[in-house]
Structure 1
Amino acid sequence: MTMTAYTIFFGDGEHAFKLTPAVIGELETKCGSGIGMIANRLFSRNFAQADVTETIRLALIGAGTPPKRAHEFIVAYVDGRPLIETYELAAKILERVLFGNPSETKGT
């Protein structure tokens, strides 16, 4: 699975987010569901808080942020904030995993 990182302003600057196969497994464990079900819950707005926070935390780690720093980002910029503020980021991360980057062309 090849996937480019999704880069956007988050918290204190531009950060990359990428769910690699290894962190997808961890996300599935943390959220108690497969990646498709997690995405379905987010896309239909029937999500749990862990669906949002763990998607963001693990995508930071998947893109190269050290785990301790990723946790610090969650504490500083996700925990205690209205969920809608971070819901859209989590949905975009999962959208990239499922559908790829719309600006990339596929080679034939």
Structure 2
Amino acid sequence: MKHVAFFGDGERTFALPFPLIEELQRKTGVGIGALFQRMRSLHFSIADISETIRLALIGGGNDPKEAAALVATYVQTRPLADSIPLAFAILETVWLGSPTTSQDDQRHEAAHG
């Protein structure tokens, strides 16, 4: 599932396929369910926000160096309030799916990437 949002200097695609979810879990030290709950309850860490966005940029097709540079520029130098909604929206898409994606589209995407 993909989330598209304006980030930095333009619209970007964010996605967390399972291998990147596993990396996110490793980077944040918690499972995806606990991470989602931490974000919902505002008990997050800085890594929860920055790693969610960085890895989702990579999953959305950005080069890892470019993703790191975007996070350094547009997350690490800005107020947390600017990045929390994006990180939460990315996790919400992982958890609940895209609100505009039909179940048929989700099955097709799961089968074909």
Coarse TM-score class (shorter-chain normalised): over 0.9
Matched residue of 1:80: which SS? coil
Of 35, 39, 44 in structure 1, the residue corresponding to residue 41 of structure 2 is: 44
Report percent identity of matched pairs: 46
Aligned to 1:31: 28
Q: Deviations over 1:37-79 (max 9, x none)?
A: 0110001111001000000000000111000000000111010
Aligned to 2:91: 94
- Mark the runs of 5 or more structure 2 residues left unpaired by the alignment: 105-113
Q: Give the drift of 1:104.
A: 1.9
Q: When the two structures are superposed, what TM-score results if normalisation uses the length of structure 2?
A: 0.89
- Mark the runs of 5 or more structure 1 residues left unpaired by the alignment: none
Asked if 1:59 is matched to 2:52, the reply is no
Q: How many residue pairs end up in the alignment?
A: 104
Which of the two has greater helix per residue? 2
Distance 2:103 2:63 in 1: 31
Matched residue of 1:17: which SS? strand
Asked if 1:105 is matched to 2:102, the reply is yes
Aligned to 1:9: 6
The root-mean-square deviation of aligned C-alpha atoms, in Å, is 0.8
Aligned to 1:76: 73
Q: Give the drift of 1:80.
A: 2.4
Paired letter, 1:80:
T
Paired letter, 1:57:
R
Matched residue of 2:6: which SS? strand
Q: When the two structures are superposed, what TM-score results if normalisation uses the length of structure 1?
A: 0.93
Distance 1:20 1:88 in 2: 20
Distance 1:31 1:15 in 2: 23
